[in-house]
Amino acid sequence: MCMSCYNFTGRYRDLGDCAGCQRGPQPLRRDYCRLCWHQAYLDRPSGPNTPLAPYLIKVCFQQLFLADLDHRRAAPRRIERRHGAKGRPHKPPPAVVARPVPGWLQPPLFDDVLPRRYRWRRVDLRNGPPPDNPWLAYGLHLAHAMAETRGFSIDKRMHLQRVLVMLLANHQAGELIRASDFDSLIHRHGGNVEHTVAVLDAMEVLADDRPTTLDIYLNEKLGALSAGIAAETQRWLHTLREGGPRSKPRKPETVNAYLRQVHPALLDWSGRYDHLREVTREDIHTHLTERPARQRSYALTALRSLFGWAKKNGVVFGNPTTRLRVEPPAERIWQPLTTAQLSPTLTAATTPVARVCVVLAGVHAARHSEIRLLQLEDVDLANRRITIAGHERPLDDLTRRVITGWLDYRRGRWPNTANRHLLLSQESAVNLGPISRPLVGHLLRGLPGTLESLRIDRQLEEAVTSGADPLHLAVVFGLNESTAVRYANNARRLLSEDHAAMPVSSARTQVPDDDNDRGEHSGSP
């Protein structure tokens, strides 16, 4: 489609049957499609100030035309341009202003609970200056500083200015702008809400009342449980997130993992019981025996946390998980990856970011969470050193060549970014955080040699080469004692004569959660 139809489709997304030509479903503007609007424009006899509405009603056909080739051209310019070049001159940057001093404010008598309604493009900055509001001037100054430091494009700058004019045109001292009032509006027009939130937060006028992703997930999961069990589970999860008098707050990933482990049991018990105190030891033992062997210990850990909290807070009379044990599954032997398993991975690593991830996982045994959080300061090309998760190690020629190629690509692709992370994406280049988890964790998903299997294979290769020395593994990769001993035992079994007669098959690996610490190892199930 032509650019005019493309812009019309992106701006007017409501589909329906056109009131003029009866075609549908089509993107509609005031019940008329793009072709009917253009036909009314062609039928209008006078100048551009004449409204099109009367001619829209009269449209009964659509004349075949080449896209926008019949526009009337203006008379040639008779005087020389002021700036000597074609196009509108660049606007000067906003003035540097300080935060307005609100002074004494009258406290509100009632809390403002009614949502505010903002109108998109209420002020057009292309036709005039912004409204005379000191808070708006301060917000535009902060937005300009953010755009300069993060390397925003022209479109992002204009969109952020348009949003701030909409929100701060009539802003008064002491008012708070709720994020829930403009979140959906900015999303509907293709803007970035986080940039707006950052500017308003720096101005100290933001009330971020949006529910987090974890809150939405918890409400969805707890909605299927009985009322009594859901209420106590929500209190337990709140203690995990916020911490208690004698407990530290956990990461959101840990809370999510605990809920995933206990949710099948709670869903089963909600069909029979109304409260957690009705759950018996036999119910927990039955649930654990029905789980796969590799998941029983994780489920028991989450259930112990739930019922330990319930006993401590008087929700249950006794803890049914006390002295409850599950038999650990038999340890499987990790097998080294073969050439046939590694070839698809090397073939699929065609992008610069994929090459960096494969080299860091296959040479330095870096986890995908550690690859995401790697900073530019962690790579010392001059001294040939690299720091991964606080562990410094030498930089080999292959890694140095791949990282140098990535830095050249990064410098040419995002020259003005302020993000200090080594790996960037189109979204993270204009922010300050790392790239998303799926971009790294699912980079080679579906192939025999994933990033996690490459990491395990590298550590296993070092264990076999060093003669199953756990101290050597701990020094080289920064492993803790238990993980180093586990790899050493695996290497001894690979080197033994009894294992040499066994068939060689690579054990499947799975990607661990980001909340696992450095010492926990997630291997084959």
Q: What is the pLDDT of residues 237-264, one digit of tens each?
A: 999 999 888 888 998 889 999 999 999 9
The CATH number fitting domain 339-500, selected from 1.10.150.120, 3.30.1450.10, 3.20.20.140, 1.10.443.10: 1.10.443.10
Q: What is the C-alpha radius of gyration for the chain, rounded to an integer number of angstroms? A: 31
Beta carbons within 8 Å of 426's beta carbon, 6+ residues apart: none
How far is residue 511's CA from residue 450's CA, in Å, rounded to a whole number? Answer: 9
How far is residue 299's CA from residue 176's CA, in Å, rounded to a whole number? Answer: 44
Classify 450 as helix, strand or coil.
Answer: coil
Strand partners, 125: none
pLDDT tens, position by position, 283-322 = 999 999 888 888 888 999 999 999 999 999 999 999 999 8
Give the model's pLDDT for residue 116: 83
- Reported as a pLDDT band with limits 50, 70 and 90, residue 525 is very low
Helices (H), 271-351: 281-290, 296-312, 339-348
Six token digits for residue 402: 């791949």
Q: How far is CA 267 from CA 271, 276, 288, 348, in A?
A: 7, 12, 14, 41
How far is residue 195's CA from residue 198's CA, in Å, rounded to a whole number? Answer: 5
Position 196 pLDDT exceeds 80? yes
Contact 480, 519 (CB under 8 A): yes
Pairing between strand 379-380 and 177-178? Answer: unpaired
pLDDT tens, position by position, 118-171 = 888 777 766 667 788 999 999 999 999 999 888 888 888 888 988 999 999 888
Give the model's pLDDT for residue 362: 92
Model confidence, pTM: 0.67
Q: Which amino acid is at 254?
A: T
Six token digits for residue 170: 């009539």
pLDDT tens, position by position, 41-52 = 888 876 656 778
How far is residue 393's CA from residue 385's CA, in Å, rounded to a whole number? Answer: 6
How far is residue 368's CA from residue 352's CA, in Å, rounded to a whole number? Answer: 16
Q: Which amino acid is at 257?
A: A
Give the model's pLDDT for residue 214: 82
Position 355 pLDDT exceeds 80? yes
Strand partners, 29: 32
Cis peptide before 94 (omega within 30 of 0): no
Contact 241, 255 (CB under 8 A): yes
The DSSP code sequence of 222-284 is HTTS-HHHHHHHHHHHHHHHH-BTTBPPPPHHHHHHHHHHHHHHHHHHHTT-SSGGG--HHHH
